[in-house]
């Protein structure tokens, strides 16, 4: 079966950057660590950066300045994703954005791309650079007392990494050294949240604030309400569970900040201010669904997306009308949308289960080792597929096969989810619709 042109468009964008990045990271002057960097680790790092995941097999701090810049460029390219590649098409006069590619951007990101594509692409680039610049300024202020002359590089790197929901850090312990620094904490959380909302939501909010719109679009309202609920509920749960455990050494204010940060970061960001392995079992378990849900549609993050989760949750709690539709915020969501959401989640579950099963066989049967158990492998798999980057510290100890499985999950979590989102009636053209007799099947 041939891959559709719009999916080849997606896959080729990510694959080419991953391969080029892996070659550049393999160069001797990209690495400052002991010995030489193996190609599998360079390839894994490249895939993790382009898929804005943040899982690592080697310490990012050991890369040279050149290597860190390459990683940063790959994070930026991966964060913008299909929008960035489309911008290249629009920037070159000799090229024209095809109808299918334009439909792809419209379907995944922006509803008015067909009418003003060039202006929208310019807005996206401007918004991205503006937010990252402001974030870098605040991080520079937060890092300056500790890092001195290294603060500017660290600020720029972490601002881009946070907004792109990447989770890559040039600090060996991520943000754990700044657990009590409010400027760093709230700046990183703000960047992660903004990057996870999606460009369409940011533009919608800007229009509402400026008075160009009287009301936010339904998509924006669902994204904002769902995101807020997930952050607040997660923060309360982490605060209660870790108050006398992982957060025991922190003062009350730092405990609140750490709990909120832990609630925000699984939404595909990957930073941590408290080592994940020190969290209690319930907190680790709670982190899994947060990584699974992830960010919002059209954002720099991964996961099944907040809108998919909200639609499925509403359908599960309140059921649907006679025609299979539900009503949200005074708007009707058709049965076809609910069906696509359910199919989307089922496909993701199947990919995760099969990948995790294969990885458990490889790592627990053929290549057993310290720290390798089913839960830790499950955590790494969810983190890879959700393009999160949080880890129980097992990833560096995986075999080559285990690392390649995680690369596959990262790729599926970024490019694969976008490709699956295209499997909708919008892209299907049937010549004749057949009507079959109805059947009965017992459910539950």
SS3 per residue for 371-391: CCCHHHHHHHHHHHHCCCCCC
Reduced to 3 states (helix: H, G, I; strand: E, B; else coil), residue 424 is: coil
Cβ within 8 Å of residue 92, ≥6 positions away: none
Q: Is the pLDDT of residue 330 over 90?
A: no
Give the residue, 35 or 26, on which the prediction is more confident.
26
Within 10 angstroms of residue 380's Cβ, the number of other Cβ atoms is: 27
pTM of the predicted model as reported, rounded to 2 decimal places: 0.89
**Assigned token pair, 180:** 């009590």
User: Which of the four pLDDT bands, split at 50, 70 and 90, describes residue 438?
Assistant: low
Distance CA 8, CA 419 (A): 9
Rounded Cα distance between 224 and 240, Å, is 24
424 confidence band (pLDDT: 50, 70, 90) = very low
Q: Given a cut of 90, is residue 67 above it in pLDDT? A: yes
CA-CA-CA-CA dihedral for 314, 319, 322, 323, to nearest 10: 40
The predicted model gives 328-334 an average pLDDT of 83
Percentage of the chain surpassing pLDDT 70? Answer: 84
* Mean pLDDT value across the chain: 85
> Which of 34-38, 310-314, 436-440 has the lowest average pLDDT?
436-440
Any bridge partners for residue 157, and if so which?
none
Closest CA to 333 of 190, 257, 219: 219
> What mean pLDDT do residues 187-206 have?
90
Q: What integer is the mean pLDDT of 341-350?
A: 88
For residues 311-323, give the mean pLDDT.
Answer: 82
- Find the radius of gyration of the CA atoms of the chain: 22
What mean pLDDT comes out for the span 208-232?
Answer: 91
Q: What is the band of 416 on the pLDDT scale with cuts at 50, 70, 90?
A: confident
Please tell me the predicted confidence (pLDDT) of residue 102: 54
Span 162-191, mean pLDDT?
A: 95
Mean pLDDT for 412-441 is: 63
Q: What is residue 443's predicted lDDT score, i.e. its pLDDT?
A: 64
Position 253 pLDDT exceeds 70: yes
Q: What pLDDT is recorded for position 430? A: 46
Average pLDDT, stretch 202-207? Answer: 87
> Does residue 183 carry a pLDDT above 50?
yes
Give CA–CA dist 293/264, Å, rounded.
12
Reported as a single tens digit per residue, the pLDDT across 31-55 is 998 889 999 999 999 999 999 999 9
pLDDT top residue among 209 and 1: 209
Q: Please write the tens of the pLDDT for every residue from 292-304.
A: 999 887 777 888 8
- What is the secondary structure of 263-322 as a DSSP string? HHTTTTT---SS-GGGS-HHHHHHHHHHHHH-S-TTSS--SS-HHHHHHHHHHHHH---T
Backbone angles phi, psi at 397, to 5 degrees: -90, 0
Q: Token digits for 83? A: 């929008």
Domain ranges of the chain: 5-420
The pLDDT score that the predictor gives to residue 422 is 53
Q: How far is the CA of 377 from the CAs of 60, 366, 396, in angstroms?
A: 22, 14, 12
Mean pLDDT in residue range 118-132: 81
CB 220 within 8 A of CB 204: yes
Confidence of residue 101 (pLDDT cuts 50, 70, 90): low
Dihedral of CA 391/394/397/401: which sign?
A: negative
375-391 pLDDT tens trace: 999 999 999 999 999 99
């Amino acid at each position: 079966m041939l891959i559709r042109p719009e999916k080849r468009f997606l896959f080729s964008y990510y694959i080419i950057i991953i391969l080029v990045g892996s070659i550049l990271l393999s160069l001797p002057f990209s690495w400052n660590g002991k010995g030489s960097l193996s190609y599998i680790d360079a390839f894994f790092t490249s895939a993790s950066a382009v898929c804005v995941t943040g899982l690592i097999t080697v310490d990012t701090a050991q890369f040279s300045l050149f290597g860190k810049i390459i990683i940063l460029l790959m994070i930026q390219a991966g964060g913008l994703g299909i929008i960035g590649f489309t911008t290249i098409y629009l920037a070159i006069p000799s090229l024209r954005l095809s109808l299918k590619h334009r439909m792809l951007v419209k379907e995944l990101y922006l509803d008015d791309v067909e009418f003003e594509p060039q202006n929208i692409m310019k807005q996206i680039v401007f918004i991205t650079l503006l937010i990252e610049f402001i974030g870098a300024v605040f991080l520079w202020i937060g890092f300056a007392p500790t890092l001195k002359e290294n603060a500017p590089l660290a600020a720029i790197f972490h601002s881009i990494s946070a907004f792109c929901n990447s989770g890559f850090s040039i600090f060996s312990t991520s943000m754990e050294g700044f657990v009590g620094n409010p400027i760093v904490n709230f700046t990183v959380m703000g960047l992660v949240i903004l990057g996870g909302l999606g460009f369409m939501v940011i533009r919608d909010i800007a229009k509402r604030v400026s008075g160009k719109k009287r009301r936010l679009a339904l998509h924006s309202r669902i994204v904002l309400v769902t995101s807020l609920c997930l952050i607040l509920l997660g923060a309360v749960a982490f605060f209660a569970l870790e108050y006398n455990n992982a957060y025991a050494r922190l003062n009350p204010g730092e405990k609140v900040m750490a709990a909120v940060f832990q609630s925000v970061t699984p939404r595909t960001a990957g930073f941590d201010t408290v080592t994940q392995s020190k969290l209690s079992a319930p907190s680790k378990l709670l982190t899994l669904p947060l990584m699974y849900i992830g960010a919002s549609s059209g954002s720099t993050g991964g996961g099944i997306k907040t809108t998919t989760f909200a639609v499925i949750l509403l359908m599960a709690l309140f059921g649907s009308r006679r025609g299979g539709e539900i009503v949200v915020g005074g708007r009707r969501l058709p049965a076809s949308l609910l069906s696509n959401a359910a199919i989307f989640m089922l496909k993701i579950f199947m990919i995760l289960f099969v990948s995790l099963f294969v990885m458990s066989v490889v790592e627990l049967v053929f290549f057993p080792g310290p720290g390798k158990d089913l839960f830790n492998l499950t955590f790494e798999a969810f983190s890879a597929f959700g393009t999160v980057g949080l880890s129980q510290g097992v990833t560096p100890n995986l075999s080559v096969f285990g690392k390649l499985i995680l690369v596959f999950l990262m790729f599926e979590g970024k490019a694969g989810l976008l490709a699956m989102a295209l499997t909708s009636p919008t892209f299907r053209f049937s010549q004749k619709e057949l009507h079959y007799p109805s059947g009965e099947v017992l459910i539950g």
